[in-house]
């Protein structure tokens, strides 16, 4: 199976996927970012499908179709979102049904959305964590593939807690991807 990874930022999840020995056929980014550099340094083909509109008028459907076209051109079988910051429209889930993965910094179904770590701290939970799940058109609502708990420590702020969650993600997400690719 051919894997594509979608990135928007530093590429640390991509680094972890590659370090685990998983072959990546394509990396797609929605903005210029270090993730593209990580891919290029590893000899992985890259494609920048740049999102230039962040207004309420953003053409999500048109942008999603551009992503689908890039993925289809590389004949990928599985797509892993790795810190990808653009919410995609339904056409990508139609094109790759049940074959798009995501990681989320909370124990879903709790704390869905973009501010999961902040929301967990605000609620005063003692345990949060990360979830690897199948991505669907409904954000953070797809079937759960793997989860791991991370304790909330006294004195944690959003940055310290998020970094401990990322440490787990960088281990759990690549292992889950590798397991799926071996089936």
pLDDT given for residue 183 in this prediction: 84
The yes or no reply on domain 102-183 and CATH 3.40.50.170 is yes
**CATH 3.40.50.170 residue ranges in the chain?**
1-97, 102-183
Place of tokens 């071996």: 182
Decide if 133 is catalytic: no
pLDDT given for residue 177 in this prediction: 98
State the Cα–Cα distance between residues 109 and 42, nearest whole angstrom: 35
Percentage with pLDDT > 90 across the chain: 99
**Across 105-127, average pLDDT:** 97
Which entry of 104, 115, 133, 162 is annotated as an active-site residue?
A: 104
Place of tokens 């530093």: 10
Q: How is the beta sheet containing 100-104 ordered, strand by strand?
A: 46-48, 26-29, 3-7, 78-82, 100-104, 127-134, 144-151
User: Model confidence over 72-91: pLDDT tens digits?
Assistant: 999 999 999 999 999 999 99
User: Model confidence over 130-177: pLDDT tens digits?
Assistant: 999 999 999 999 999 999 999 999 999 999 999 999 999 999 999 999
Class in CATH terms, 1-97: alpha beta
Q: Say if residue 11's pLDDT is above 90.
A: yes
């Amino acid at each position: 199976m051919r894997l594509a990874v979608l990135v928007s930022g530093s590429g640390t999840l991509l680094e972890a996927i590659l370090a685990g020995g998983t072959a990546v056929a394509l990396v797609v980014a929605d903005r210029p970012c270090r993730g593209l550099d990580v891919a290029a340094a590893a000899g992985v083909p890259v494609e920048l499908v740049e999102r230039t509109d962040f207004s309420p008028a953003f053409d999500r459907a048109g942008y999603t179709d551009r992503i689908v076209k890039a993925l289809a051109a590389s004949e990928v079988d599985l797509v892993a979102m790795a810190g990808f910051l653009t919410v995609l429209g339904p056409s990508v889930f139609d094109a790759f049904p049940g074959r798009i993965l995501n990681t989320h910094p909370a124990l879903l179904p709790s704390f869905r959305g973009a501010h999961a770590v902040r929301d967990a701290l605000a609620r005063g939970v003692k345990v949060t964590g990360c979830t690897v799940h199948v991505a669907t058109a409904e954000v953070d609502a797809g079937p759960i593939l793997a989860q791991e708990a991370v304790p909330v420590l006294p004195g944690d702020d959003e940055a310290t807690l998020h970094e401990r969650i990322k440490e787990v993600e960088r281990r759990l997400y690549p292992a889950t991807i590798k397991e799926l690719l071996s089936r």
